[in-house]
Amino acid sequence: MIEELLNVVVRKRELQGGGVVVLDLIRCDGAALPAFDAGAHVDIHIAPGLVRQYSLCSNPGDPSVYRLGVLKDPASRGGSVGVHDTLLEGRELQISAPRNLFPLAGQARRTILLGGGIGITPMIAMAYTLHTAGQDFELHYCGRERGRSAFLDELAGSPFAANVFTHFDDEGLEQRLDLATVLGRGEAGVHMYTCGPAGFMEWVIQGARDLGYTEEHIHKEYFQVEVDSSGASFEVVAARSGKSVQVAEGQSILAALAHVGIKIEISCEQGVCGTCLCDVLEGEPDHRDVYLTDDEKAANDQILVCCSRAKSKKLVLDI
């Protein structure tokens, strides 16, 4: 099935902090945009063949605009640079309808939001939702330098400003994030959400585990990961296509399939978005993604072919 895309235009563009462009997108026809829940993202079609996912950070209660913030990454594979260079005010583009892989848990007694750097974006939408619902929450924004951080004015002027706490490496030690104090001991009904650079998230997640938080109460969204393509070669059989190919060490299943004429839809190419998910009919995957849950990985019936490999000598995929 072909996904229906939305035609939008950049209504407002603003550079904030150190290399973050904040974009307000509206429908070209002036109609309301599809409703979304906090934690959702959209696929941005930046150029032909260049699609990237960005979290929505606007108020989910306002269907007239989608806001996103994109950090210009010096190691960009084209996505963030393309956004910064081409998505100017008045530019028309296509996006997907919102999809949510990072939803708020229902019936939480208390919610703690921890955003590192540009990982603050989904947390802002969550804060709007939690405030509107009258729920108990805190939003903690961590970064290296206050002067290079985006969204500070919006957060300071928000209706939930009293729930926002900032922690910057270039300021006094007294305002640094004390994870044990902020999280407290893991308790029923207390949920923690984190998004940001991998190192920051690993520190937060392990800290939460050490404090007694169960996996069901730790919610995380990665926006960038290092892809490990090491490992022995193996065979991949495309059952429906009737083709097989040897995947070499250092080569992705995606790239090997392309060599024999099998094209898989892709986007992030880092095991984050789930676009290239395929069903496994035979063999044991070596899961290297951050998209599938632990239970889904244990089932061994799906694989993300952009980053994962095989533990068995052969994988048979339903493609």
Confidence of residue 274 (pLDDT cuts 50, 70, 90): confident
Q: Do 88 and 23 lie in a common domain?
A: yes
Count: domains in the chain? 3
Q: What is the pLDDT of residue 269?
A: 77
**What is the rounded distance in angstroms from the CA atom of residue 309 to the CA atom of residue 312?**
9
* pLDDT over 70 percentage in the chain: 97
DSSP strands (E only) in 17-109: 20-27, 40-47, 50-55, 66-71, 92-95, 99-100
Mean pLDDT of 58-86: 89
Please check whether residues 39 and 69 belong to one and the same domain.
Answer: yes
Contact 126, 113 (CB under 8 A): yes
Cα separations (Å) of 213 from 96, 202, 205? 34, 14, 9
Residue corresponding to tokens 């789930």: 274
Closest CA to 175 of 155, 146, 199: 146
Q: Is the pLDDT of residue 2 over 70?
A: no
Q: What is the mean pLDDT of residues 5-28?
A: 96
Question: Does residue 145 or residue 49 have the better pLDDT?
Answer: 145
In this prediction, residue 205 carries a pLDDT of 97
Q: What is the pLDDT of residue 1?
A: 41
Summarised one tens digit per residue, pLDDT across range 166-201 is 999 999 899 999 999 999 999 999 999 999 998 999
Whether residues 123 and 91 share a domain: the answer is no
160, with CB counted inside 10 A (0-12, 13-18, 19+), is middle
Q: What tokens were used for 252?
A: 């992705």
Measuring CA to CA, how many Å separate 134 from each of 160, 268, 285, 291?
10, 35, 44, 31
Shared domain for 216 and 114, answered yes or no, is: yes
Residue 229, in any domain of the structure: no
DSSP letters, 208-260, are HHHTT--GGGEEEE-S-------S--EEEEETTTTEEEEE-TT--HHHHHHHT
Final residue in a domain of this structure, among 75, 100, 125: 100
Round the average pLDDT of the chain to a whole number and report it.
93
pLDDT at 226: 64
Buried b (16+ CB within 10 A) or exposed e, 62-86: eeebbbbbbbbeeeeeebbbbbbee
Residue 228 lies in a domain: no
Check pLDDT > 80 for residue 268: no
Residue 14 counted as domain residue:
yes
User: Does any domain span residue 298?
Assistant: yes
- Checking if the pLDDT of 75 tops 70, the result is no
Q: What is the mean pLDDT of residues 144-173?
A: 96
Question: Looking up tokens 């209706």, which residue turns up?
Answer: 159
Does 115 share its domain with 96?
no
240 within some domain: yes
Over residues 103-122, the mean pLDDT reads 96
If asked whether residues 115 and 86 sit together in one domain, one would say no
Confidence of residue 266 (pLDDT cuts 50, 70, 90): confident
Is 217 in the same domain as 121?
yes
Rounded mean pLDDT of 265-281?
84
Nearest to 60 by CA among 44, 39, 82, 74: 39
Instruction: Give me the mean pLDDT over the 84-108 stretch.
Output: 94
Does residue 87 carry a pLDDT above 90? Answer: yes
pLDDT of residue 211: 98
59 and 17 belong to one structural domain = yes
pLDDT band at 3 (very low <50, low <70, confident <90, very high): low
What is the reported pLDDT for 165? 98
What Rg, from alpha-carbon coordinates, does the chain have?
21
Residue at a domain's end among 190, 221, 252: 221
Q: Which domain holds residue 310?
A: 234-317
Q: Please give the average per-residue pLDDT across 106-122, as a whole number.
A: 96
Mean of pLDDT values over 13-31: 95
Strand partners, 140: 114, 165
Question: In percent, how much of the chain has pLDDT > 90?
Answer: 82
Residues 51 and 126 in one domain: no
CB 308 within 8 A of CB 280: no
Arithmetic mean of pLDDT, 47-68: 93
Q: Cβ distance 97 to 6 under 8 Å?
A: yes
Q: Is residue 56 part of a domain?
A: yes
What is the spatial distance between Cα 259 and Cα 255, in angstroms, rounded to a whole number?
7
Phi, psi of 255 (to 5 degrees): -65, -40
120 lies in the same domain as 162: yes
Judge whether 7 and 92 are in contact, CB under 8 Å. yes
Say if pTM beats, i.e. exceeds, 0.85: no
Q: Write down which residue in 100, 119, 139 finishes a domain.
A: 100
Collapsing DSSP states into helix, strand and coil, what is residue 126? helix
Average pLDDT over residues 119-130: 98
